[in-house]
Amino acid sequence: MRIATYNVNSIRIRLDTILTWVAKWQPDVLCIQETKCQDDAFPLLILQSTGYNVHFRGMKSYNGVAILSKMAPQSVSYGFSDHLPERDEARLMRVVVNGVSVVNTYVPNGYKLGSPQYTYKLGWFERLRAYFAASLNPHDRVVWCGDMNIAPQPIDVHSPEKHLRHVCFHEDARRAYTEVVNWGFVDVFRKLYPERQQFTFWDYLRPSSLDANKGWRIDHILATRPMAEACRAVEVDIEPRRAPRASDHTFLWADFDL
DNA sequence: ATGGTCGACTCTCGA
């Protein structure tokens, strides 16, 4: 079972990228973040023409998540369902496919240290931990993937010493993320490649960052222990990142023998 | 301290 994740940064602009990648790599499940369109503008029919099942939730301009799956999901749900007011919607969805619960998240960026957005990001991780604790079991087959906006370790960002106060590397953000991981997840990329420095994101604001390989590993695939033990391969595909009209993120995929 | 680049959308915000 192949599960993949991709921050598309506008699904309408990069529809071709998705179609080409899906045709080549044939994921069983593809989790997409930052679709950036309202549901009535979502390119549903063309995505369905690939034969995939398509589920999504968006909002105007920002955020938005979608999941493509070869098999029809047994269930689909959106958001935390914790009845707290949403500062922004369309950042979390879950499907159950082939007995595997797949949770797709676009974690809030956090803007700057000390900002309300940063506080919201930290709280978002706490809500996510509560969400896993309330609705899933670490002994079951669960995969959590998406754009986490967290580089978990110094190896996961270029020049870590320069980013100690960056919202994607600050100790408080990393701790909040780690608390969720500690509910029962294994970072399958890091499990298979304990030493490899492999980024999934190069900042648009620094156009030379890709060539200089000054990036971040902030997109992740995490699996509960029973799933992680079945993980046979994980790779980052940076080729679409070099194409014209590239997103600043890469595709990331993992194969599980079930 | 600031700007650099995108995308959505409305002359600005979020990343």
A60 touches strand B (CB under 7 A): yes
A65 touches strand B (CB under 7 A): no
Q: Do the Cβ atoms of A210 and A242 come closer than 8 Å?
A: yes
pLDDT of residue A87: 63
> Which nucleotide is nearest to A201 if distance is taken from CA to C1'?
B15
Distance CA A185, CA A136 (A): 12
Q: List per-residue pLDDT tens for chain A, 258 residues long.
A: 999 999 999 999 999 999 999 999 999 999 999 999 999 999 999 999 999 999 999 999 999 999 999 999 999 999 998 877 666 679 999 999 999 999 999 999 999 999 999 999 999 999 999 999 999 999 999 999 999 999 999 999 999 999 999 999 999 999 999 999 999 999 999 999 999 999 999 999 998 999 999 999 999 999 999 999 999 999 999 999 999 899 999 999 999 999
- Please report, rounded to whole angstroms, the spatial distance between the CA atom of protein residue A200 and the C1' atom of nucleotide B14: 20
Distance CA A98, CA A150 (A): 29
Lay out the sheet containing A2-7: strands in order across: A53-57, A65-69, A29-33, A2-7, A251-256, A231-237
Nucleotides of B under 7 A from a protein CB: 4-9, 13-15
Q: Do the Cβ atoms of A216 and A222 come closer than 8 Å?
A: no
Q: Do the Cβ atoms of A8 and A51 come closer than 8 Å?
A: no
pLDDT of residue A82: 80
Q: Count of CB atoms within 10 A of residue A155's CB?
A: 15
- Please report, rounded to whole angstroms, the spatial distance between the CA atom of protein residue A56 and the C1' atom of nucleotide B3: 35
A90 touches strand B (CB under 7 A): no
- Please report, rounded to whole angstroms, the spatial distance between the CA atom of protein residue A70 and the C1' atom of nucleotide B2: 47
- Please report, rounded to whole angstroms, the spatial distance between the CA atom of protein residue A64 and the C1' atom of nucleotide B4: 26
Residue nearest to nucleotide B14 (CA to C1'): A62
Residue nearest to nucleotide B8 (CA to C1'): A61
A108 touches strand B (CB under 7 A): yes
- Please report, rounded to whole angstroms, the spatial distance between the CA atom of protein residue A38 and the C1' atom of nucleotide B1: 37
- Please report, rounded to whole angstroms, the spatial distance between the CA atom of protein residue A158 and the C1' atom of nucleotide B7: 26
Residue type, A211: D
> Which nucleotide is nearest to A61 if distance is taken from CA to C1'?
B8
Q: Count of CB atoms within 10 A of residue A26's CB?
A: 11
Residue nearest to nucleotide B7 (CA to C1'): A10
